Amino acid sequence: MLNVVERVDIDVNQPYNTSMHTIQEQILDLAAKEDISNLGYRKLGERIGVSHPQQVKYHLQKLISSGRLLRTPFGVLKAAGPSSAASRIFQVPILGQANCGQPLSYADESDWGSLTLSPSLVKTEDPAKLFAVKAVGDSMNQASVAGQSIEDGDYVVVDGSAELPDSGDYVVSSVGGLANVKQYLRDDVNRLIRLNSESSRDYPPIVLDPDDVDSYLIHGRVIRVIKAA
């Protein structure tokens, strides 16, 4: 199972910095010569001499989110030119799905693609920290994120750098490794965390002791909802 905290699986001896990583340069060089869309992470790694598929996936997603690698309307991945208008938009990787009722696991390593968003839709200083999940269920259909509810099939855009949300924020988190979308409420008096639904139906809250860090992880704050239709 793919867990959000596993998406940054890189070689600690080759840290990502402000210059383009060698692996990213190799991916771009190959993309300039041929269509890499259907290679898969393992096969792409073999072509550029990288043995770890998760490392390939990380750097591929970095290229997409930074606009250096673009996905055309036909699904083909291609290197962006220096003056490409598309380089001014965000490619936000979709990591899987999360439930808006009871917790549901993230997707496996299959390719869920990415969302293409303009800067006016997502206010962020670091688009590489963004990811998205597909919402499943109706327990957040009366939430309000920038005026949008979260309904079954909608895409939820998440700021992965916001791992310490304010009480009242909407978050993607996981309980026992299973992902959910909920409103995060912190009860400082009783030292409890409540994950509330906001729904036309009656869903009980998830109530947690904040010391249970081994079973509860916050993956980021919901900043935008992209409606399914």
The full 3-state SS of 45-105, as one line of letters, equals HHHHCCCCHHHHHHHHHHHHHHCCEEECCCCCEEECCCCCHHHHCEEEEEEEEEECCCCEC
CA angle 6, 10, 15 (to 5 degrees): 135
Which CB contacts under 8 angstroms, 24+ apart, belong to 208-214? 208/175, 210/186
| Cα–Cα distance for residue pair 156/228, rounded to 1 Å | 10
What is the separation, in whole angstroms, between the first and last Cα of the chain? 28
pLDDT for 184: 94
Q: What is the CATH number of domain 90-226?
A: 2.10.109.10
Q: What is the pLDDT of residue 157?
A: 93
Intervals of CATH 2.10.109.10 along the chain: 90-226
Check residue 100 and give its pLDDT: 72
Residues of the chain with CATH 1.10.10.10: 4-82
pLDDT per residue, tens digit, the chain (229 aa), is 333 333 323 233 333 334 578 898 999 888 888 888 888 889 999 999 998 889 898 888 888 877 777 766 556 677 765 544 444 677 888 888 887 765 544 444 445 788 888 877 887 777 778 889 899 889 999 999 989 999 999 999 999 887 788 999 999 988 877 788 999 999 989 999 999 999 999 889 999 987 776 778 888 899 999 998 7
* CATH number attached to the domain at 4-82: 1.10.10.10
CA distance 176 to 195: 14
